Structure 1
């Protein structure tokens, strides 16, 4: 309402699959779109996703060298903030 054409981006360290700290957890709860980045891949959690659960690969070579992050399924399905 006060900022109809503004985009606010909050960046936080994580504890497990969620932001670290009370303020960061409150922002996550209120956010319409949440993005978890790990192993050179980004997982977006939003009702606006065309293909939910499919990661965006930031760097193909780096992603290929890292281990698969099995916890992303938990992050996408936990219902936090929805």
Structure 2
């Protein structure tokens, strides 16, 4: 499975802000993305495990492989 890009920085690892607001294309680098710590990869949002996310659940939470398997077994009643 491929790793999801960070939602906040769109996988850039950096946050770019508009100099003049709105949809102005003239932007500046305002620093490292706080959510992904500059990696550009989405982090799992379940159980605070901080592994890299590979999919979303029905509620829109990003999940790593282990949390995805756990969620699927709970959601669909599958036995491990």
TM over 0.5: no
Q: What interval of TM-score do these two structures reach, taking the shorter chain for normalisation?
A: under 0.3
Give me the TM-score of the superposition, normalised by structure 1. 0.23
- Structure with larger Rg: 2
